[in-house]
């Protein structure tokens, strides 16, 4: 009797190829089926970038797919297992009785001029809006009420798990992934006697939504995790906590703040 279907995604590093080959043999020996199209569990081998790719490959199956990360380099925020722990990983997976762990995702809707239906995306980490060569001007609405007029290089909207990624580099706060909220951070805003914004990150609850209305222009650049959208008719982008969540298999708990400390501070 099979225990489930597993898909394995890996990056191009030699160590990841080796880990993929070994993990495949261990899973088959433990009566799992390797199924790259319709899995119950998705294993990414590499780093957080590989995990992001695996998530988007199977984001249409979030209602029944669980994810698991193996890192072959530096410690990642989505990769709990190391490549020298594969035997323990398979054993743990076979006897996994831990309560399910899931994290919030960002629902992104891009509205275009002269189009009725917005384009819908899910983000695991963040979405950003920038302008290529000129100052970006945008009206920021929270729950359909004007909050501020932004002028600057751009805006970043992130999930709690994405708060340690690009969000942190632009001065955003680090959020614990169990907090069901999202965050808006400014990218090089203009603040002087004439132009004013809040100038600090904003944490927005799961009962609220954010809409950013853009001046009409052809040079906006939108990123959603590792993907890029360029379109000359973008009217607005709306954000909220998604109904879907990302679920983890054989989750091995590591204290989140210890992981933050190890990643950014090191030994004290």
pLDDT tens-digit readout, 18-49 = 999 999 999 999 999 999 999 999 999 999 99
| pLDDT at residue 192 in the model | 86
Dist. CA 126–CA 128, nearest whole Å: 7
**Helix runs in the chain, H state only:** 14-29, 48-57, 86-94, 166-169, 256-264
pLDDT (tens digit, 9 = 90+) per residue, 167-178? 999 999 999 999
Residues annotated as catalytic are 48
Confidence of residue 77 (pLDDT cuts 50, 70, 90): confident
Q: What is the separation, in whole angstroms, between the first and last Cα of the chain?
A: 50
Burial class of residue 267, CB neighbours in 10 A (0-12, 13-18, 19+): exposed
Dist. CA 23–CA 1, nearest whole Å: 19
Share of the chain above pLDDT 70, in %: 97
Q: In degrees rounded to 5, what are phi and psi of residue 125?
A: -105, -70
- Please say if the pLDDT value at position 231 is more than 90: no
- Please say if the pLDDT value at position 247 is more than 80: yes
Burial class of residue 142, CB neighbours in 10 A (0-12, 13-18, 19+): middle
| pLDDT at residue 132 in the model | 78
Name 212's bridge partners.
Answer: 140, 237
Confidence of residue 191 (pLDDT cuts 50, 70, 90): confident
Global model pTM greater than 0.85: yes
Q: At what angle do helices 86-94 and 14-29 cross, to 10 degrees?
A: 40
Which parts of 53-209 are beta strand (E)?
66-71, 81-82, 101-112, 119-123, 126-131, 136-142, 145-158, 181-189, 202-205
Domain boundaries, the chain: 4-96+249-264, 105-245
- Please say if the pLDDT value at position 74 is more than 90: no
| pLDDT at residue 256 in the model | 84
CATH architecture for the domain at 105-245:
Sandwich (2.60)
How far is Cα of residue 224 from the mean position of the Cα atoms in its chain?
8
- Please say if the pLDDT value at position 251 is more than 80: no
- Please say if the pLDDT value at position 80 is more than 90: no
Is residue 99 classed as helix, strand or coil in its secondary structure? coil
Dist. CA 231–CA 220, nearest whole Å: 7
Quick one: which of 123, 103, 44, 102 has its CA closest to 76? Answer: 44
- Please say if the pLDDT value at position 226 is more than 90: no
Task: Confirm if 60 and 50 have CB atoms less than 8 A apart.
Answer: no
Dist. CA 249–CA 131, nearest whole Å: 39
Burial class of residue 123, CB neighbours in 10 A (0-12, 13-18, 19+): buried
Confidence of residue 75 (pLDDT cuts 50, 70, 90): low
Confidence of residue 16 (pLDDT cuts 50, 70, 90): very high
pLDDT (tens digit, 9 = 90+) per residue, 106-163? 999 999 988 889 999 999 999 999 987 889 999 999 999 999 999 999 999 999 999 9
CATH topology of domain 4-96+249-264: Rossmann fold (3.40.50)
- Please say if the pLDDT value at position 268 is more than 80: no
| pLDDT at residue 252 in the model | 66
Q: Compute, in degrees rounded to 10, the torsion defined by CA atoms 142, 220, 173, 182.
A: 40
């Amino acid at each position: 009797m099979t225990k489930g279907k597993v898909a394995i995604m890996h990056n191009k590093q030699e160590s990841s190829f080796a880990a993929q080959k070994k993990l495949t043999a261990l899973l088959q020996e433990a009566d799992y089926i390797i199924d790259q199209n319709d899995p119950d569990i998705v294993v990414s081998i590499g780093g957080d970038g590989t995990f992001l790719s695996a998530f988007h490959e199977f984001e249409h199956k979030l209602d029944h797919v669980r994810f698991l990360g193996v890192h072959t380099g530096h410690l990642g925020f989505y990769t709990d297992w190391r490549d020298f722990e594969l035997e323990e990983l398979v054993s743990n997976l076979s006897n996994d009785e831990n309560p399910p762990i899931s994290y919030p995702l960002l629902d992104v809707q891009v509205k275009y001029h002269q189009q009725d239906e917005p384009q819908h995306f899910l983000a695991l980490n963040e979405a950003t809006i920038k302008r290529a060569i000129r100052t970006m001007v945008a009206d920021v609405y929270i729950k359909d009420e004007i909050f501020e007029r932004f002028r600057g290089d751009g805006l970043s909207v992130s999930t709690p798990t994405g708060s340690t990624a690009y969000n942190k580099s632009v001065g955003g706060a680090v959020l614990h992934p169990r907090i069901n909220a999202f965050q808006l951070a400014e990218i090089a805003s203009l603040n002087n006697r004439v132009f004013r914004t809040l100038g600090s990150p904003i944490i927005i609850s799961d009962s609220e939504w954010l809409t950013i209305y853009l001046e009409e222009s052809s040079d906006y650049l939108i990123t959603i995790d590792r993907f890029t959208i360029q379109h000359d008719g973008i009217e607005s982008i709306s954000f909220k906590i998604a109904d879907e969540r990302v679920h983890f298999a054989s989750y091995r708990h590591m204290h989140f703040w210890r992981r933050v400390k190890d990643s950014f501070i090191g030994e004290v």
